[in-house]
Structure 1
Amino acid sequence: MAAGADIVGSDRVVLSVALVGESAGLVRLGAAAHDASDASVSVTSVATTDSDLPWALELVKAQCGVGSSSRQVTIVASRSARADVLALLAAPLEAEGSGGDPYHVVCRPARAFSEGAALRGLLDARILELEEGVPSSRSRAERSRLLAATIDTGDVAAMQALGGLLDYLGASNAPSSKRMARATSAAALTLSCVREFSLAQTLAMDVATAVGLGVIDALGTGSAGGQVSSLEALLSRAGSATGRRILRQWLLRPSTDVELLNKRLDAVEEAKSAMRLSAGNVTALRKALRSNVHDVVSLLRAIAGARARPAGWQQLHQSTQAMLHQPPGFGGAATDDEARTGPFLASIGSTILEAEGLSRVFRLLDTVFEFDTMSRSELRDAVAEHVVPIRSGVDQTLDDLRRLQQDVPQFLESTLQTLASKHAQLSGAALEFIPQLGYLVALDSNLDGEPTWVPDEFEHVFDASERRFFRCAESLELDETVGDVHSMLHEREQAILRSIEGHVLEHQAELCMLSEAIGELDVILALAEVAADCGYIRPTLTRDARIELRDCRHPLAEMSLRDGDEFIPNTIVLGGSDPPIILLSGPNGSGKSVLLKQLGLIVVLAQIGSFVPAREATIGIVDRLFSKIRARDT
């Protein structure tokens, strides 16, 4: 496997785990995950017992983004890990559609799984979130203090897992040759952020439950047989790559934080109002997010690794333009009426307007590249041929080389005419450029392998097939005048790109932060659009052990009704002064599983901050969700 291959793919998750004994029968499971889609690292830990370890591992896998067959997964463990733990790590999830293939488990040296190794790895890495608005040259002591404020460095299990993760990422990112080492010597491991998330503030739900209920689709977002198969598919109106990633993260980590959820609900309500008052602007914004905002984090990571292709530069130019030129009220200039947005949309607009790095990067790309003046066919051809269209006037040397390249056919024609007039007996001569050798005169051989006639001053260089190659005064003059203009042109373009890369990466932290904000806006708009289109209402969230749903509906089943059909709503009341348990019975096909799924899906919707399909909804926050339902036809 090529160096770095494990962490380059934007659809890869690397999960590292560590077990630390706490007391008789109790262990703490630490986990650290690297998500290549946004270059983030998440750390957590959970107390469990040996008997509950299989469920705890399933839960951690779900929270860390493991579980979709469309994602490549590597699990990292210590070489000293117990055999039964390694078997559990490799075991496929119960989730329907997992295919039963075991996960790829990599064992790293036990010494890597330590708090000291984790801290050293973090201090050696470049963490963009720590660079926002501050110099990247902070001392190690300052960075250490910032990290201690970001994650709990005293959580032994989490830090041990983090040490193993960073050791694996560092080894995967290491160059495999001296040549690569020279090219990547300045490219340390780059992370967008390192964040701790608490399972205590997350609805515990393993992947099997999430897939069985229809929260996510194990085989990817979509519909099956004309039916919306999951909440992920229902809410897939989030069109940007970052928006889709955030949506999936919310669905796999429903929150138990009432304050956070009410802020999201406020934002959804605000977006719904904006859709009524300024539908055209919202439509334009959704179109821009869907079509023009690409995976900025991955694009910047490719640039940082000197792997950016012409298509990547074009997508970054398109993305920065779309983020910068938002419709009125969403970051663009607004009239008084259009500016009457709430705090969420106003904060997004302010973030965009105050982002100096965004405007600088866009102006730089717009000045250097001519993507905007090219037709679609020209752009397609440039991307296919890996040509980066740098504007004329950006670099005088580049312009001179381009003119020289355009004149090459004339130089060759003129030289051939000179040879023909100088040597009348010379026939069938051609001029070819051979790398390392320069321009040579090619002559066809006769049946004996010799050219019919060769001037005395021609110097034989080599033979190939039925042709012989010679050097002469005229070919040497071409070497001086034209030379390897194609290589010189390519080298000059690469030098310009390296300079552009440096300027862009100065603003990498700000661009990643903006991409995250735009992605969250995308999700909120998707939730608002579904709420408006499907008649959802805002739920009231409490900390009481009570759920009261009046005339609630199954969010997926009602999307699959034929024209004219209507989903018959149900009322569900649990807890408080009412019984906490309902014993539901009935014949096969009477709708028992539909009702159970309906309740579970509505709770998940509420706890990601979404409106819900009901006439009234009061939901006491749930901290665990279990299900053995596996049938997808309910």
Structure 2
Amino acid sequence: MGTINALWVGVADFVDPTSNSIAELFDFVNFRNFKDYLFVDVDSLYALQVIPESNKNNKLTSKTQKNSLLELLDYTITKEGSKLLKDWVRKPLTNISKIMERQNAIKVLSQPENCEIRHDIKKALKFTKNITSNIKNLQVGKLIWKNWKSTIEFLQTIVSLSKSLRLCFTENTIPDDLSLFLELSVTDFIQLQEFILTYVEPITSEEEGKVKIVNGVDDDLDSMKTQYNNLDNILQEATRLIAQSIPDQVFNTVYIPQLGFLVSREEDISHIDTTFMPDEWQEVFRTSTNVYYKSQEVLYLDEQYGDIYTLISDREIEIVQEILNKVLEFEEPILMMGEASVVLDCYCSLAEVSQLSGYVFPSLTDDYQLEIKQGRHPLVETHLNVFVPNDTDFQINQKITVVTGANSSGKTVYLNQIALVVMMAQIGCAIPAESATIGIVDKILTRVSSRESLEKLQSTFAIDIYQLSKCISLATDRSLIIVDEFGKGSDPIDSNALFGGCLNYFDSMGTSCPRLTNYQT
């Protein structure tokens, strides 16, 4: 069967349900061809321990032990980076030029002389997370300081990352998905950051949790702030005037946003004394201990100063909106740099693995060769002090390998090791081996132990037949098939006969035969 091309449809935030236009609908649809991605089905992902099973509680005795390939490769700093890396791990590449581009970038970042730069990049990446949600929060008019603070830190960080990457790459060597760091005008980001800080006061904003505007940028705002800061003296003077007109009574004059200036008097709520109160005084509200009034004196303050706090807030919102309009002029490059930062997070994560002792970058070819010298299982070796490496060698005229040996001799580990090494190579990462030459694999198909009959409501033999049938149906000459103990637990004669027939079928395919490795008890 030929190569399978899958279709992925991603619908945007919404499609107008009232629209009947097919053309309008397709404006919201993205098509993706999976021809450039290595096919691995869900059962194989779990059986090969590519991704962890969430329902299993595998206890680890040390941080160095790993139970899945994703756990081994994930040194990402941000949640977005971890999510993208999982996508990379589940869908290794098959386009050799793209693999080599990614591998070369990881190779540069993993070099010992770039170790300090890589660590600086990882520290900086902490300040690039959530930039998309931050921009959305700014767009809806939120004055929460943490959103603006994160945006300012993001702009600073992009400048820092650009400088770090210029120390490692040139315009000719940097991969396409990181090229923005060298192409973007860093000056624009610096100027935007300086523009924001021209208006925003970071220290006061941090203390109050919302954006505060610095003095000197708006005369009206400065005047209102001066009046607001002088409220204590204004209230004391008003209290003095009221006390002169109504002696032998104790009053306080207060200011409450949205209610304005009020006269406050402690009262026994069960018996409020109104004999002292002038006719023009009006009760506004009362609490368990105080009654609040409007008098001529505080009405004068309302008229002179207005709802000063609300006026200050409204003016600050207007200024912040002006700042936001400037920021949104750079929305597209900011979001693009956010995406590039997530990709950089993944590159640094894979570089962290690739610099481990005993890891090498494989040679990748377009032929059918699969040669791994002194290869090791990347997960099993994290649990053992000593791991015995093994060689693997597939050639154009020798594409079927049958592995035999005693129980518990490591046959299953060896088979799974081949698949994991191939996946790591096509992700672009270094592999645990002495050296390797890997011809690009388009599918990894398996007949291995998986989530068995209790979950699938099938017998073990039925699952065996289904999985091997899948391998036969989907395999191409570039596929890698892993068969582990086909027919175990079934009739030994029939299962061996079926397996022998499958081997004979693959052998009869000649040069079109996939690369097949298996062991049979």
TM-score, with structure 1 as normaliser? 0.62
Which residue identity lines up with residue 89 of structure 2 in the other structure? L
Match of 1:325 among 150, 160, 173: 160
Distance in 1 (CA, whole Å) between partners of 2:328 and 2:431 is: 42
Q: What residue identity is the alignment partner of 1:365?
A: I
Report how far residue 526 of structure 1 moved: 2.3
- More moved, 530-539 vs 350-359: 350-359
Query: Structure 2 vs 1, CA of residues 304 and 450 (structure 1 numbering), >3 Å: closer, same or farther?
Result: closer
- The answer to whether residue 133 in structure 2 is matched with residue 310 in structure 1 is no
* Alpha-carbon distance in structure 2 between the residues aligned to 1:464 and 1:356: 58
Q: Is the 8 A contact 1:229 1:556 kept in 2?
A: yes
1:622 aligned to which of 417, 421, 441: 441
* Kept after mapping to 1: 8 A contact 2:376/2:433: yes
Q: Any conservation in 1 of the 2:374–2:391 contact (CA below 8 Å)?
A: yes
Which of 403, 422, 429 does residue 226 from structure 2 map onto?
Answer: 403
Matched, 1:255 2:77: no
Q: Which residue of 1 aligns with 2:276?
A: 454
**Residue deviations 1:33-81 (CA, integer Å, cap 9, x gap):** 25xxxxxx6xxxxxxxxxxxxxxxxxxxxxxxxxxxxxxxx9x99xxxx
Once residues 519 and 218 of structure 1 are traced to their aligned partners in structure 2, the CA distance between those partners, rounded to angstroms, is: 25
Indicate how the Cα distance of structure 1 residues 233 and 403 shifts in structure 2: closer, same or farther if over 3 A, else same. farther
Give the C-alpha shift of residue 397 in structure 1.
Answer: 2.9
**Match for 2:427: what amino acid?**
I
The correspondence for 2:44, drawn from 185, 195, 209, is: 209
Q: Give distance in 1, aligned partners of 2:371 and 2:78.
A: 35
**Secondary structure of the equivalent of 1:625?**
strand
Is 1:566 aligned to residue 386 of structure 2? yes
Q: Following the alignment from structure 2 to structure 1, what is the Cα–Cα distance between the partners of residues 123 and 201?
A: 23
For residues 330 and 407 of structure 1, the distance between their equivalents in structure 2, rounded to whole angstroms, comes to: 51
Instruction: Give the deviation of 1:353 after TM superposition.
Output: 5.3
Q: Is residue 2:193 matched to residue 1:358?
A: no
Structure 2 CA distance for partners of 1:407 and 1:528, relative to 1, 3 Å: same
2:67 is equivalent to residue 229 of structure 1: yes
Cα separation, partners in 2 of 1:244 and 1:461, compared to 1, 3 Å: same
Change (3 A) 1:339 1:436: closer
- The answer to whether 1:464 aligns with 2:286 is yes
Aligned partners of 1:212, 1:399: CA distance in 2, in Å?
67
Report the counterpart of residue 239 of structure 1 in structure 2.
77
Superposition RMSD on alpha carbons, in Å?
3.5
How far, CA to CA, are the matches of 2:19 and 2:50 in structure 1? 36
Identity among equivalent positions (%) equals 24
Whether 2:121 is the aligned partner of 1:285: answer yes
- Cα distance change of structure 1 residues 214 and 310 upon mapping to structure 2, 3 Å threshold: farther
Larger RCO (CA within 8 A; separation ≥ 6): 2
Shift in Å at residue 258 of structure 1? 0.7
Give the 3 Å change call, closer, same or farther, for CA 292–29 of structure 1 in structure 2.
Answer: closer
Specify which of 593, 607, 613 is matched with residue 412 of structure 2.
593
Instruction: Give the 5 Å matches for 1:60-209.
Output: 115-119=22-26, 121-122=27-28, 162=29, 196-209=31-44
- For 2:283, what is the secondary structure of its paired residue? strand
Distance 1:241 1:568, change over 3 A: same
C-alpha distance 364-255 of structure 1, shift in aligned 2 (>3 A): same
Indicate yes or no: 2:245 matched with 1:422.
yes
Distance 1:219 1:449 in 2: 67
Secondary structure of residue in 1 paired with 2:262: strand
Matches within 5 A, 1:427-442: 427=250, 429-433=251-255, 437-442=259-264
Q: Shift in Å at residue 257 of structure 1? A: 0.6
Q: Displacement, 1:529?
A: 2.4
Deviates further, 250-259 or 398-407: 398-407
1:189-246 Cα offsets, whole Å, 9 max, x none, are: xxxxx5x4211111122344334433334659x9952332333322222324443343
Shift of 1:261: 0.4
Which aligned pairs between 1:484-523 and structure 2 lie closer than 5 A?
Answer: 484-523=307-346
Give 2:368's match in structure 1, choosing from 545, 554, 572: 545
Per-residue CA distance 1:447-481 (angstroms, 9 max, x = gap): 65322642324422345345433221111122123
State the 4+ residue runs in structure 1 displaced beyond 6 angstroms.
Answer: 111-114, 338-342
Give the 3 Å change call, closer, same or farther, for CA 447–499 of structure 1 in structure 2. closer
- The question of whether the paired residues in 1 share the 8 Å contact of 2:257 and 2:308 is answered with no
**Structure 1 CA distance, aligned partners of 2:37 and 2:419?**
15
Matched residues in 2 for 1:555 and 1:118: separation? 46
Structure 1: unaligned runs, 5 residues or longer: 1-26, 35-40, 42-73, 78-107, 123-161, 163-193
CA gap 1:570/1:415 in 2 versus in 1, 3 angstroms: same
Give, in whole Å, the separation in 2 of the partners of 1:306 and 1:605: 45
Preserved contact between residue 77 and residue 122 of structure 2 (Cα < 8 Å): yes
Please tell me whether the aligned partners of residues 267 and 344 of structure 1 are also in contact (alpha carbons under 8 angstroms): yes
Which residue of 388, 393, 397 corresponds with 1:577?
397
1:467-500 deviations in Å (ceiling 9; x for gaps): 4332211111221233322222222222222222
- Cα offsets for 1:563-594 (capped at 9, x unmatched): xx22221222235232424345642x443433
Partner Cα separation in structure 2 for residue 621 and residue 421 of structure 1: 95
Q: Distance in 2 between matches of 1:393 and 1:217?
A: 57
Q: 1:327 to 1:436 in 2, by over 3 A?
A: closer
Which is higher, the Rg of structure 1 or of structure 2? 2
What residue identity is the alignment partner of 1:598? Q
Give the Cα–Cα distance (whole angstroms) in 2 for the partners of residues 350 and 357 of structure 1.
13
CA distance in 2, matches of 1:308, 1:215: 43
Distance 2:228 2:219 in 1: 14
Cross-structure match for 2:486 = none
Report the alpha carbon displacement of residue 116 of structure 1 after superposing the two structures with TM: 1.8
Distance change (3 Å), C-alpha of 1:476 and 1:33: same
Worse-matched range after superposition: 317-326 or 575-584: 575-584
- The answer to whether the 8 Å contact 2:162/2:181 transfers is no
- Deviation by residue 1:385-410 (Cα, 9 ceiling, x = unmatched): x3124333333333333322222222
> Which 5+ residue runs of structure 2 have no aligned equivalent?
452-521
Per-residue deviation, 1:630: 4.3
Match for residue 607 of structure 1?
Answer: 426
The alpha carbon displacement at 1:614 in A equals 0.8
CA contact (8 A) 1:446 1:452 kept: no
Letter in 2 for 1:306: G
CA displacement at 1:319 relative to structure 2? 1.3
Asked if 2 retains the 8 angstrom alpha-carbon contact of 1:324 and 1:352, the reply is no
Give the Å deviation of 1:423. Answer: 1.5
CA gap of 1:363–1:477, structure 2 versus 1, over 3 A, is same
SS in 1 for 2:39: coil
Taking the aligned partners of 1:360 and 1:248, their CA distance within structure 2 comes to 36
Give the equivalent residue in structure 1 for 2:301: 478
Name the CA distance, whole Å, in 2 between partners of 1:592 and 1:555.
Answer: 15
